[in-house]
Structure 1
Amino acid sequence: MGMIQKSKSFFKGVKTELKKVQWPNRKELTTYTIVVISTVLVVAAVIALMDTIYGSIIGLIAG
């Protein structure tokens, strides 16, 4: 089986699998997007807070 034939077979399989995917509707997509963005913001805030606290502690120690 040649390289071109393997490529055709691969992309045919990809097309078949993509037809099986259950894509989210607009409401689900919006909900998932809000959850992801909210989670990222909370984690970023926690990391920033920890960085500030640890930086202050190291500043006091290194003084």
Structure 2
Amino acid sequence: MIKFFKSVAHEMHLVTWPTAKQNRHDTGTVITTSVLFALFLGVLDYLFSVLTQMFM
């Protein structure tokens, strides 16, 4: 078990972690994409609601 944790620690030192700038950029991309997708789904929901009301 100790060998496993030593291997994990060794591998963690080999990982290339993103910089703070990369993290900010990626976070901004995720937030922007999420907001745009939510707006798109909201517009679709509204259109389907209007179409449904027209035929009832």
Matches of 2:8 and 2:47, distance apart in 1: 49
Q: Give the aligned partner of residue 9 of structure 2.
A: 15
- 1:54 and 2:45 matched: no
How far off its partner does 1:14 sit? 3.2
Matches of 1:15 and 1:46, distance apart in 2: 44
- Percent same amino acid at aligned positions? 27
Gaps (5+ residues) in structure 2? none
TM-score (norm 2): 0.79
Gaps (5+ residues) in structure 1? none
Matches of 1:28 and 1:58, distance apart in 2: 44
22, 36, 39: which one pairs with 1:42?
36
TM-score (norm 1): 0.72
| Structure 1 stretches of 4+ moved >3 Å | 8-14
Q: Which letter does structure 2 place at the counterpart of 1:53?
A: L
Count of matched residue positions in the alignment of Structure 1 and Structure 2: 56
**Larger gyration radius, structure 1 or structure 2:** 1
